[in-house]
Structure 1
Amino acid sequence: MKTILWATMTANGNYAQSSPDNPPKKEAWADFVTHASAAGNFIVGRRTFEAMRGGGGPGPFGEVDIVVVSKHAADIPGVKIVRSPQEALAYLRQKGHRTALISGGADVHNSFLGQGLVDEVIFNVAPVMEGKGLNLLIDQDHYRFKHVELLGCRPLGGGVVQLHYAIAR
């Protein structure tokens, strides 16, 4: 199964923090919906899922398998709760998916990356800079490089630029 990590980053390399005062760029959100629909699924952490869901309901994801990785989440109707990245991927394989879209947040991304479970990354770079923020951490104990190959880059509009990389194994 191919795994794709999808994230929106700031121009200075942090995760773009969304809030009611700072909603996600519509171009990045539309791109996420397109990728989730194409994959037929996405994997997300509980806090990020709750922020995405907002007022509740399936939103644009009625036909998409949503997997929430959480050690403590209770049942969420229409969503599969798992405890680990491996359990998330096993569930999606069992459902017949060939691609898994890992949509966030930082803890979920870092968990998948730290365990070597990511084949590709898609970064949508938003035209903002933040004074503080969360980052991707490949290995917190050692300074190691992860080489990547550029698969593509394109403007999404609204100043958002998408970078698509394959992770060298």
Structure 2
Amino acid sequence: MKTILWATLTANGNYAQSSPDNPPKKEALDDFATHAKAAGNFIVGRRTFEGMRGNGGGGPFGEIDIVVVSKNAAEIPGVTVVKSPQEALNYLQQKGYRTALISGGADIHNSFLGQGLVDEAIFNVAPVLEGKGLNLLIDKDNYRYKHVQLLDCKPLGNGVVQLRYAIER
């Protein structure tokens, strides 16, 4: 199964943090919806999922298989809850999916990256600089490198640029 990590980054490379002063760009959200519909699923952390739900999330995702990764969460109506990234991938593979979309937040992204479970990364770079932010990491403790191959680069509009990379496993 192909795994695609989808994220929005700031122009200075931080993992973009949404707030009332800095809402997500419509172009990035529309792109995410397109990728989620194409995959038929997405994997998300519990806090990010709760944030989506709190903002009326789920509307365009009624037909999409949502998998929430949480070590502590109990059952959440309408979604599948698993305890690890590998368990999320196993669930989607058993359901016959050919692609898994990993959508957020930073802890989930870093967990999948750190375990070497990502085949491709899609980064939507938002036109904003952020003072203090979170980073995407392949290793929290060491200076390790992983070379990637640029597959595509395109503007999405409103200053958002999308970079798509292949990641060697």
Residue of structure 1 equivalent to 2:37: 37
Residue of structure 2 equivalent to 1:93: 93
CA distance in 2, matches of 1:168, 1:74: 34
Count residues in correspondence: 169
Q: Is 1:121–2:138 an aligned residue pair?
A: no
In the TM superposition, what is the alpha-carbon distance from 1:55 to its structure 2 partner?
4.5
Structure 2 counterpart SS, 1:87: helix
CA distance in 2, matches of 1:49, 1:32: 14
In the TM superposition, what is the alpha-carbon distance from 1:65 to its structure 2 partner?
0.2
CA distance in 1, matches of 2:61, 2:140: 34
Q: Is 1:4–2:4 an aligned residue pair?
A: yes
| 1:68-83 correspondence runs (5 A) | 68-83=68-83
Structure 2 counterpart SS, 1:22: coil
Residue of structure 2 equivalent to 1:156: 156
Residue of structure 2 equivalent to 1:52: 52
CA distance in 1, matches of 2:134, 2:39: 26
CA distance in 2, matches of 1:4, 1:60: 20
Whether the aligned pair in 2 keeps the contact of 1:127 and 1:159 (CA below 8 Å) is: yes
Residue deviations 1:5-29 (CA, integer Å, cap 9, x gap): 0000000000111123321000000
Q: What TM-score do you get using the length of structure 2 for normalisation?
A: 0.97
- Structure 2, unaligned stretches of length 5 or more? none
Structure 1 vs Structure 2: percent identity of aligned residues?
83
CA distance in 1, matches of 2:31, 2:90: 25
Whether the aligned pair in 2 keeps the contact of 1:53 and 1:59 (CA below 8 Å) is: no
Aligned-residue RMSD, C-alpha: 1.1
More divergent stretch after superposition (48-57 vs 16-25): 48-57
Q: Deviation above 3 Å: which 4+ runs of structure 1?
A: none
CA distance in 2, matches of 1:144, 1:12: 20
CA distance in 2, matches of 1:110, 1:27: 24
Structure 1 counterpart SS, 2:20: coil
- Structure 1, unaligned stretches of length 5 or more? none
Structure 2 counterpart SS, 1:44: strand
Whether the aligned pair in 1 keeps the contact of 2:36 and 2:101 (CA below 8 Å) is: yes
Q: What TM-score do you get using the length of structure 1 for normalisation?
A: 0.97
CA distance in 2, matches of 1:55, 1:126: 20
